[in-house]
Amino acid sequence: MIYASGQEWRDASQRRVVLFGMSGLGKTYLASMLREQGNWFHYSVDYRIGTRYMGEYISDNLKLAAMKVPLLRELLLTDSVCVSSKISFDNLAPLSTYLGKPGSPSRGGLPFDDYCERQDQHRTAEIASLMDTDRFIRRAFDIYGINSFVCDTGGSICEVVDPDDPDDPVLSALARGLLLVWIKGSDEHTAELVRRFDRAPKPMYYQPEFLDRAWISYRAEKGLTEDQVNPDDFIRWTYARALAHRQPRYAAMAQRGVTITAEEVQKVAHPGDFIDLIATAIDRKIA
Protein backbone atom coordinates (compact mmCIF):
# COMPACT_ATOMS: atom_id res chain seq x y z
CA MET A 1 0.00 0.00 0.00
CA ILE A 2 1.21 3.53 -0.75
CA TYR A 3 0.27 4.66 2.79
CA ALA A 4 2.11 2.84 5.58
CA SER A 5 -0.34 3.83 8.32
CA GLY A 6 -3.55 5.68 8.97
CA GLN A 7 -1.56 8.64 10.25
CA GLU A 8 0.53 8.75 7.08
CA TRP A 9 -2.71 8.86 5.10
CA ARG A 10 -4.03 11.70 7.28
CA ASP A 11 -0.78 13.67 6.89
CA ALA A 12 -0.41 13.08 3.15
CA SER A 13 -0.34 16.12 0.88
CA GLN A 14 -1.65 13.90 -1.92
CA ARG A 15 -4.46 11.43 -1.21
CA ARG A 16 -5.29 9.07 -4.05
CA VAL A 17 -7.77 6.18 -3.96
CA VAL A 18 -9.42 3.66 -6.29
CA LEU A 19 -12.94 2.70 -5.21
CA PHE A 20 -14.20 -0.69 -6.38
CA GLY A 21 -16.99 -3.11 -5.59
CA MET A 22 -20.51 -3.98 -6.68
CA SER A 23 -22.52 -1.25 -8.37
CA GLY A 24 -24.97 0.39 -5.99
CA LEU A 25 -22.89 0.35 -2.80
CA GLY A 26 -21.70 3.96 -2.82
CA LYS A 27 -18.68 4.38 -5.11
CA THR A 28 -20.14 7.22 -7.13
CA TYR A 29 -21.79 8.75 -4.05
CA LEU A 30 -18.40 8.99 -2.31
CA ALA A 31 -16.61 10.26 -5.42
CA SER A 32 -19.25 12.93 -6.08
CA MET A 33 -19.27 14.04 -2.45
CA LEU A 34 -15.47 14.35 -2.42
CA ARG A 35 -15.55 16.33 -5.67
CA GLU A 36 -18.30 18.69 -4.54
CA GLN A 37 -17.25 19.23 -0.93
CA GLY A 38 -13.57 18.43 -0.70
CA ASN A 39 -11.83 19.64 -3.87
CA TRP A 40 -11.01 16.11 -5.03
CA PHE A 41 -10.66 15.23 -8.71
CA HIS A 42 -13.31 12.67 -9.65
CA TYR A 43 -12.22 10.30 -12.41
CA SER A 44 -15.14 8.14 -13.56
CA VAL A 45 -14.00 5.05 -15.46
CA ASP A 46 -17.48 4.40 -16.86
CA TYR A 47 -17.72 7.98 -18.14
CA ARG A 48 -14.30 7.64 -19.78
CA ILE A 49 -15.39 4.38 -21.42
CA GLY A 50 -18.58 5.91 -22.79
CA THR A 51 -16.99 9.10 -24.09
CA ARG A 52 -13.39 8.44 -25.09
CA TYR A 53 -13.35 4.77 -26.04
CA MET A 54 -16.89 3.77 -26.98
CA GLY A 55 -18.39 7.11 -27.96
CA GLU A 56 -18.09 6.40 -31.68
CA TYR A 57 -19.69 2.96 -31.35
CA ILE A 58 -22.58 4.52 -29.42
CA SER A 59 -23.07 7.37 -31.90
CA ASP A 60 -22.94 5.05 -34.89
CA ASN A 61 -25.55 2.81 -33.29
CA LEU A 62 -27.84 5.80 -32.76
CA LYS A 63 -27.33 6.89 -36.38
CA LEU A 64 -28.11 3.38 -37.57
CA ALA A 65 -31.44 3.53 -35.73
CA ALA A 66 -32.14 7.05 -37.02
CA MET A 67 -31.47 5.97 -40.62
CA LYS A 68 -34.48 3.67 -40.39
CA VAL A 69 -36.75 6.72 -40.01
CA PRO A 70 -37.30 8.33 -43.46
CA LEU A 71 -37.34 11.93 -42.20
CA LEU A 72 -34.18 11.49 -40.12
CA ARG A 73 -32.50 9.52 -42.90
CA GLU A 74 -32.90 12.45 -45.29
CA LEU A 75 -31.62 14.93 -42.73
CA LEU A 76 -28.63 12.76 -41.84
CA LEU A 77 -27.67 12.23 -45.47
CA THR A 78 -27.67 15.98 -46.02
CA ASP A 79 -25.77 16.59 -42.77
CA SER A 80 -28.71 18.64 -41.48
CA VAL A 81 -28.94 17.09 -38.01
CA CYS A 82 -26.50 15.77 -35.45
CA VAL A 83 -27.16 12.53 -33.60
CA SER A 84 -25.04 11.91 -30.50
CA SER A 85 -25.29 10.60 -26.96
CA LYS A 86 -25.32 12.71 -23.83
CA ILE A 87 -23.44 10.74 -21.20
CA SER A 88 -22.78 12.14 -17.74
CA PHE A 89 -21.34 10.78 -14.49
CA ASP A 90 -24.90 10.14 -13.30
CA ASN A 91 -26.42 9.01 -16.61
CA LEU A 92 -24.69 6.18 -18.44
CA ALA A 93 -27.82 5.04 -20.26
CA PRO A 94 -26.34 5.47 -23.78
CA LEU A 95 -23.50 3.09 -22.89
CA SER A 96 -25.85 0.55 -21.30
CA THR A 97 -28.23 0.73 -24.25
CA TYR A 98 -25.40 0.10 -26.69
CA LEU A 99 -24.15 -2.95 -24.75
CA GLY A 100 -27.67 -4.34 -24.96
CA LYS A 101 -28.94 -7.75 -23.93
CA PRO A 102 -28.75 -11.08 -25.77
CA GLY A 103 -31.89 -12.82 -26.92
CA SER A 104 -34.88 -12.61 -29.19
CA PRO A 105 -34.68 -9.63 -31.61
CA SER A 106 -38.48 -9.29 -31.42
CA ARG A 107 -38.05 -8.51 -27.72
CA GLY A 108 -35.24 -6.06 -28.22
CA GLY A 109 -32.43 -8.60 -27.85
CA LEU A 110 -29.18 -8.88 -29.76
CA PRO A 111 -27.85 -12.00 -31.51
CA PHE A 112 -25.41 -13.58 -29.08
CA ASP A 113 -22.40 -13.11 -31.35
CA ASP A 114 -23.17 -9.39 -31.74
CA TYR A 115 -23.63 -9.10 -27.99
CA CYS A 116 -20.26 -10.76 -27.37
CA GLU A 117 -18.60 -8.39 -29.84
CA ARG A 118 -19.92 -5.40 -27.87
CA GLN A 119 -18.82 -7.04 -24.63
CA ASP A 120 -15.30 -7.37 -26.05
CA GLN A 121 -15.35 -3.71 -27.08
CA HIS A 122 -16.25 -2.82 -23.50
CA ARG A 123 -13.45 -4.97 -22.08
CA THR A 124 -10.87 -3.23 -24.27
CA ALA A 125 -12.31 0.19 -23.38
CA GLU A 126 -12.40 -0.54 -19.64
CA ILE A 127 -8.77 -1.67 -19.54
CA ALA A 128 -7.69 1.41 -21.49
CA SER A 129 -9.71 3.70 -19.22
CA LEU A 130 -8.20 2.15 -16.09
CA MET A 131 -4.72 2.53 -17.53
CA ASP A 132 -5.48 6.23 -18.15
CA THR A 133 -5.78 6.83 -14.41
CA ASP A 134 -2.18 7.90 -13.91
CA ARG A 135 -2.48 10.38 -16.77
CA PHE A 136 -5.52 11.96 -15.14
CA ILE A 137 -3.74 12.19 -11.79
CA ARG A 138 -1.12 14.33 -13.53
CA ARG A 139 -3.77 16.34 -15.40
CA ALA A 140 -5.66 17.01 -12.17
CA PHE A 141 -2.58 18.63 -10.65
CA ASP A 142 -1.04 20.24 -13.74
CA ILE A 143 -4.25 21.86 -14.99
CA TYR A 144 -6.37 22.35 -11.88
CA GLY A 145 -3.84 22.22 -9.06
CA ILE A 146 -5.82 19.43 -7.36
CA ASN A 147 -3.79 16.97 -5.28
CA SER A 148 -6.51 14.61 -4.04
CA PHE A 149 -7.81 12.08 -6.55
CA VAL A 150 -10.57 9.47 -6.52
CA CYS A 151 -10.93 6.86 -9.26
CA ASP A 152 -14.55 5.71 -9.43
CA THR A 153 -14.50 2.30 -11.14
CA GLY A 154 -17.30 0.25 -12.65
CA GLY A 155 -18.54 -2.92 -11.01
CA SER A 156 -16.91 -4.98 -13.75
CA ILE A 157 -13.30 -4.04 -12.90
CA CYS A 158 -12.81 -7.48 -11.35
CA GLU A 159 -13.75 -9.07 -14.68
CA VAL A 160 -11.00 -7.37 -16.72
CA VAL A 161 -8.08 -8.07 -14.36
CA ASP A 162 -6.57 -11.22 -12.88
CA PRO A 163 -6.76 -10.60 -9.12
CA ASP A 164 -4.57 -13.62 -8.37
CA ASP A 165 -1.72 -12.50 -10.62
CA PRO A 166 0.76 -10.35 -8.65
CA ASP A 167 1.98 -8.94 -11.97
CA ASP A 168 -1.42 -8.11 -13.45
CA PRO A 169 -0.62 -4.96 -15.46
CA VAL A 170 -3.79 -3.03 -14.61
CA LEU A 171 -3.80 -3.74 -10.88
CA SER A 172 -0.04 -3.16 -10.66
CA ALA A 173 -0.37 0.20 -12.39
CA LEU A 174 -3.19 1.27 -10.08
CA ALA A 175 -1.50 0.07 -6.88
CA ARG A 176 1.70 1.97 -7.69
CA GLY A 177 -0.01 5.31 -7.39
CA LEU A 178 -3.28 4.85 -5.53
CA LEU A 179 -4.78 3.05 -2.55
CA LEU A 180 -7.21 0.32 -3.61
CA VAL A 181 -10.41 0.48 -1.54
CA TRP A 182 -13.01 -2.28 -1.69
CA ILE A 183 -16.54 -1.33 -0.65
CA LYS A 184 -17.80 -4.66 0.62
CA GLY A 185 -21.52 -5.39 0.77
CA SER A 186 -23.29 -7.76 3.12
CA ASP A 187 -25.70 -10.56 2.17
CA GLU A 188 -28.52 -8.08 2.84
CA HIS A 189 -27.00 -5.62 0.37
CA THR A 190 -26.65 -8.35 -2.23
CA ALA A 191 -30.30 -9.33 -1.81
CA GLU A 192 -31.37 -5.71 -2.21
CA LEU A 193 -29.24 -5.28 -5.33
CA VAL A 194 -30.84 -8.39 -6.82
CA ARG A 195 -34.33 -7.04 -6.01
CA ARG A 196 -33.44 -3.67 -7.52
CA PHE A 197 -32.05 -5.31 -10.65
CA ASP A 198 -35.12 -7.52 -10.97
CA ARG A 199 -37.34 -4.42 -11.02
CA ALA A 200 -35.24 -2.74 -13.72
CA PRO A 201 -32.76 -5.13 -15.39
CA LYS A 202 -29.94 -3.34 -17.19
CA PRO A 203 -27.05 -4.40 -19.43
CA MET A 204 -23.78 -5.42 -17.79
CA TYR A 205 -20.29 -6.55 -18.72
CA TYR A 206 -19.39 -10.18 -17.95
CA GLN A 207 -16.16 -12.13 -18.11
CA PRO A 208 -16.30 -14.10 -21.43
CA GLU A 209 -15.94 -17.56 -19.85
CA PHE A 210 -18.63 -16.78 -17.29
CA LEU A 211 -20.97 -15.42 -19.96
CA ASP A 212 -20.54 -18.47 -22.21
CA ARG A 213 -21.35 -20.82 -19.33
CA ALA A 214 -24.38 -18.76 -18.33
CA TRP A 215 -25.74 -18.61 -21.88
CA ILE A 216 -25.45 -22.36 -22.36
CA SER A 217 -26.80 -23.24 -18.88
CA TYR A 218 -29.75 -20.85 -19.11
CA ARG A 219 -30.93 -22.18 -22.47
CA ALA A 220 -30.44 -25.78 -21.39
CA GLU A 221 -32.43 -25.19 -18.20
CA LYS A 222 -35.24 -23.37 -20.02
CA GLY A 223 -35.18 -25.49 -23.18
CA LEU A 224 -34.87 -22.47 -25.47
CA THR A 225 -33.14 -21.71 -28.73
CA GLU A 226 -31.16 -18.47 -28.97
CA ASP A 227 -33.94 -16.55 -30.73
CA GLN A 228 -36.48 -17.65 -28.10
CA VAL A 229 -34.59 -16.15 -25.15
CA ASN A 230 -36.29 -13.29 -23.31
CA PRO A 231 -33.39 -10.82 -22.89
CA ASP A 232 -34.59 -9.42 -19.56
CA ASP A 233 -35.25 -12.88 -18.13
CA PHE A 234 -31.75 -14.03 -19.11
CA ILE A 235 -29.94 -11.13 -17.46
CA ARG A 236 -32.14 -11.44 -14.35
CA TRP A 237 -31.18 -15.13 -14.17
CA THR A 238 -27.53 -14.25 -14.69
CA TYR A 239 -27.25 -11.26 -12.35
CA ALA A 240 -27.27 -13.03 -8.98
CA ARG A 241 -24.80 -15.58 -10.32
CA ALA A 242 -22.59 -12.74 -11.52
CA LEU A 243 -22.55 -11.16 -8.06
CA ALA A 244 -21.50 -14.47 -6.49
CA HIS A 245 -18.84 -14.86 -9.19
CA ARG A 246 -17.43 -11.41 -8.47
CA GLN A 247 -17.19 -11.56 -4.68
CA PRO A 248 -14.02 -13.69 -4.43
CA ARG A 249 -12.43 -11.64 -7.21
CA TYR A 250 -13.08 -8.41 -5.30
CA ALA A 251 -11.71 -10.01 -2.13
CA ALA A 252 -8.51 -11.02 -3.93
CA MET A 253 -8.11 -7.47 -5.28
CA ALA A 254 -8.54 -6.11 -1.76
CA GLN A 255 -5.37 -7.93 -0.69
CA ARG A 256 -3.50 -5.09 -2.39
CA GLY A 257 -5.41 -2.42 -0.46
CA VAL A 258 -8.04 -1.97 2.22
CA THR A 259 -11.66 -2.90 2.80
CA ILE A 260 -14.51 -0.74 4.04
CA THR A 261 -18.12 -1.86 4.39
CA ALA A 262 -21.23 -0.47 2.76
CA GLU A 263 -22.57 0.20 6.26
CA GLU A 264 -19.54 2.36 6.99
CA VAL A 265 -20.00 4.22 3.71
CA GLN A 266 -23.58 5.06 4.64
CA LYS A 267 -22.26 7.03 7.63
CA VAL A 268 -19.93 9.20 5.54
CA ALA A 269 -21.43 12.67 5.13
CA HIS A 270 -18.43 14.85 4.29
CA PRO A 271 -14.75 14.49 3.24
CA GLY A 272 -13.51 14.47 6.84
CA ASP A 273 -15.59 11.36 7.52
CA PHE A 274 -14.06 9.68 4.49
CA ILE A 275 -10.50 10.53 5.55
CA ASP A 276 -11.22 9.11 9.02
CA LEU A 277 -12.75 5.96 7.56
CA ILE A 278 -9.80 5.23 5.26
CA ALA A 279 -7.33 5.87 8.10
CA THR A 280 -9.23 3.35 10.21
CA ALA A 281 -9.25 0.85 7.34
CA ILE A 282 -5.49 1.18 6.84
CA ASP A 283 -4.75 0.63 10.53
CA ARG A 284 -7.22 -2.24 10.56
CA LYS A 285 -5.40 -3.86 7.64
CA ILE A 286 -1.98 -3.41 9.28
CA ALA A 287 -3.21 -4.87 12.56
The string of pLDDT tens digits covering residues 214-237 is: 999 999 999 999 999 999 999 999
Q: What is the DSSP letter of 59?
A: H
- Angle CA 207–262–188, to nearest 5: 80
pLDDT category at 91 given cuts 50, 70, 90 is confident
Asked whether the predicted pLDDT for residue 89 surpasses 90, the reply is no
Residue 114's nearest CA partner among 94, 100, 96, 93 is 100
CB 36 within 8 A of CB 29: no
- Strand partners for 261: 184
pLDDT the model gives residue 190: 87
Mean pLDDT score, 128-137:
98
Model confidence pLDDT, tens digit, residues 97-121: 999 999 999 999 999 999 999 999 9
Mean pLDDT score, 65-85:
91
Entry field: residues in the chain? 287
Report the C-alpha gap between 124 and 130 in whole angstroms: 10
Composition of the chain by helix, strand, coil, percent to 5: 65, 10, 30
Report the C-alpha gap between 58 and 95 in whole angstroms: 7
Model confidence pLDDT, tens digit, residues 182-216: 999 988 888 888 898 888 888 899 999 999 999 99
Higher pLDDT, 90 or 175: 175
CB 173 within 8 A of CB 180: no
Mean pLDDT score, 167-179:
97
Domains of the chain: 6-281 (3.40.50.300)
Average pLDDT, the chain: 95
pLDDT the model gives residue 63: 93
pLDDT category at 140 given cuts 50, 70, 90 is very high
pLDDT category at 128 given cuts 50, 70, 90 is very high
pLDDT category at 83 given cuts 50, 70, 90 is confident
Model confidence pLDDT, tens digit, residues 252-265: 999 999 999 999 99
